[in-house]
Amino acid sequence: MTEVHIGISGWTYPPWRGDFYPPGLPHKRELGYAASRLGSIEVNGTFYGLLRPATFASWVPEVPSRFVFAVKGSRFITHLKKLGDVRTPLANFFASGVLALEEHLGPLLWQLPPNLGYDRERLAAFFELLPRTLGQAAVLAREHDHRISADRELLTTGHPRHPIRHALEVRHDSFRTPELAELLRAHEIALVLADNPGSWPVLDEATTDFRYVRLHGDTELYASGYSAAALDSWAARIAAWSGTGQDVYVYCDNDAKIHAPYDAMGLMERLGLSPSDDAPAMKT
């Protein structure tokens, strides 16, 4: 059995209130509402700054037992440091509370900036630093610096063997090289298929045992929805990947005009997926 998780990128969007979210739904209940209808959520807040362990821990009771969060890596690591000399920033990232998700932790997404081109050595050095289990992440977290105070650190996990998967999203044309897939396979990193209307490369390549897809908008970046025919096509692709034994994670990032949750639910319906505890996976 392979797992297929369909969801959205983030869940706190004021325009969604009174539309996807029922009128009067308290903001603090939005995560639980979204999790009751979707199979996963991609956390974007971690891209912009370090959160707190209490924040991560507060999400766990709001979601079903087999619900997973994909977590977006810090832009300090990807955009400011451009993956160079980032051992301590990685330690800070993991010490800031990611471990609190425990078995709800899905893949980590590392999104590179459009001005960062392909550099095999830089990428390989970064991949070597990445922990592959929660236990390894906890060990790395102990190397954090003063940016994580003692009252904001989390350095332990109750599930040290829980695997951590990593996915790389690229946005520079120099990544259109066969060498990239070879490098990703060597380090068991998924190449993100980032569907978008011509803004960045759309690279469709299986490089590990799971696929990671971000749907940024069919015809207008972050804004346009996907037609019924487009959703049919994506559902067929997802089913085919699952049929070859790959787990699949898909996140609708076309949130600007409230298309994301409806497109995600449309994909789930086409694939026969339920957000409930007893049927989160797709049998092949």
pTM for the structure as a whole: 0.94
pLDDT tens, position by position, 7-65: 999 999 999 999 999 999 999 999 999 999 999 999 999 999 999 999 999 999 999 99
- Measured at the alpha carbon of residue 32, what is the angle toward residues 4 and 241, in degrees to the nearest 5? 5
Reading the block at residue 151, the tokens are 């009252």
- CATH for 4-271 (3.40.50.2300, 3.20.20.410, 3.40.1670.10, 3.40.250.10): 3.20.20.410
Average pLDDT score over the chain: 94
In percent, the amount of the chain with pLDDT more than 90 equals 89
* Domain coordinates in residue numbering, the chain: 4-271
pLDDT band for 1, please (50, 70, 90 cuts).
Answer: confident
Give the helix ranges, DSSP H, for the chain.
30-35, 45-48, 53-59, 75, 87-95, 120-129, 134-141, 178-187, 228-243, 260-271
Average pLDDT over residues 135-164: 97
Instruction: Tell me which residue of 27, 42, 30 sits closest to 249, measured CA to CA.
Output: 42
Helix (H) or strand (E) run with residue 77 in it: none
CA distances from 214 to 19, 88, 109, 168 (A): 23, 28, 10, 11
Least confidently predicted of 140-149, 172-181, 252-261: 252-261
How confident is the model over 225-236, as a mean pLDDT?
96
Q: If pLDDT is split at 50, 70 and 90, which confidence band does 71 have?
A: very high
Rounded CA separation 253/146 (Å)? 34
